[in-house]
Amino acid sequence: MLQINNLHATIGGTDILKGLSLTINAGEIHAIMGPNGAGKSTLAYTLGGRPGYEVTEGSATFDGQDLLALEPHERAAAGLFLGFQYPVEIPGVSNLQFLRESLNAQRRARGEEPLSGAEFIRLAKEKAALLKMDMDMLKRPVNVGFSGGEKKRNEMVQMGIIDPKLALLDETDSGLDIDALRIVGEGINTIMRKPDRAVLLITHYQRLLDLVKPDFVHVLAGGRIVRTGGAELALELEEQGYEAAA
Ligand SMILES: Nc1ncnc2c1ncn2[C@@H]1O[C@H](COP(=O)(O)OP(=O)(O)OP(=O)(O)O)[C@@H](O)[C@H]1O
Ligand SMILES: [Mg+2]
């Protein structure tokens, strides 16, 4: 589904990704761990097409398409979803408006019929219930005044509604209380653990991985993947730290 080959990316002239290669097949859940500043968020942003992230070498294909040649909205319409480490606030636009616009823009780009208001509300209610999110929260402006954990849970409601093929989730577990962590973990499993879906989870902690059992765990250090293993690698890292593992 996603094939990244020798990816080099710079921000403001500084090299951050330095020859990163990674393949994610449909049906797989991958976790990326690694020290602060290693380039994990940079990888997510580069794949999402955030302005300022310049690819200087290498390639990334998504379902056989040249991902890097697509505009950010085209990447979303192709089925790529980004969950942010620091979700943005959008004053003046309600969550429901934002999500309906996003979903229908993507559906139109794929040649599908947009959802009617009633169909959309039914979908939003179903996903909000799955993530135990109060519908009143979805009527509020996007993330404005949300607590850290509420923003993360809101990201998962967005993911449920958008129903992407590939979700890149950047520290979705950070700041979640114990109950919210379980809800989010189960949400990821319910929404994304399917033969035609895939997930890349960026995380610092084992807790989420106990719930969303990854098929592969990678260590990203110095802008490239330095080690790959199974779920047990996360446990080893937790015990020994990155220096010993890399
Ligand atoms: N706009 C920028 N200009 C210069 N350097 C930047 C910029 N944005 C990020 N960097 C640098 O790129 C490096 C990688 O940052 P990135 O956010 O990808 O790390 P990370 O692996 O996600 O870390 P963390 O675990 O702390 O979230 C860091 O050294 C950071 O300071
Ligand atoms: Mg980061």
How much is the pLDDT for 246? Answer: 60
How confident is the model at residue 240, as a pLDDT? 87
For the chain, how many structural domains are there in total?
A: 1
Q: How far apart are CA 48 and CA 84, in angstroms?
A: 11
CB 32 within 8 A of CB 196: no
> Atom 11, ligand 1: which residue's CA is nearest?
37
Whole-number Å distance, alpha carbon 180 to ligand 2 midpoint, is 20
Query: What would the mean pLDDT of 102-129 be, rounded to a whole number?
Result: 94
Report whether residue 11 contacts ligand 1, using a CB cutoff of 6 Å.
yes
Ligand 1: which residue has its CA nearest to atom 18? 39
Is the Cβ atom of 40 under 6 angstroms away from ligand 1? yes
Residue 22 CB–ligand 1 contact under 6 Å: no
| Per-residue buried b or exposed e for 24-33, using 16+ beta carbons within 10 Å of the residue's own CB | beeebbbbbb
Q: Which atom of ligand 1 is nearest to the CA of 37?
A: 19
- Cβ(16) to ligand 1 under 6 A? yes
Atom of ligand 1 lying closest to residue 204 CA: 25
CATH number of the domain to which 210 belongs: 3.40.50.300
Question: Would the pLDDT of 245 be above 70?
Answer: no
Question: Tokens representing 83?
Answer: 């969950």
| Residue 171 structural domain | 2-245
Beta bridge partners of 235: none
Residue 9 has pLDDT above 70, yes or no: yes
Ligand 1 atom with least separation from CA of 12: 3
**What one-letter code names the amino acid at 121?**
I
Residue 124 φ/ψ, nearest 5 degrees: -65, -40
CA of 170 to the centre of ligand 2 (A): 7
Query: How many angstroms separate the alpha carbon of residue 152 from the centre of ligand 2?
Result: 14
Q: Give, for 67, the enclosing helix (H) or strand (E).
A: none
Q: Kindly report the protein residue whose alpha carbon is nearest to atom 31 of ligand 1.
A: 37
Count other C-beta atoms under 10 Å from residue 112's C-beta: 12
Are the CB atoms for 162 and 179 separated by under 8 Å? no
The answer, yes or no, to whether any atom of ligand 1 lies below 6 A from the CB of 14, is: yes
For residue 175, the model assigns a pLDDT of 83
Q: pLDDT band for 47, please (50, 70, 90 cuts).
A: very high
pLDDT tens, position by position, 161-214:
999 999 999 998 888 889 889 888 998 999 999 999 999 999 998 899 999 999
More confident site: 84 or 111 = 111
Across the chain, mean pLDDT equals 93
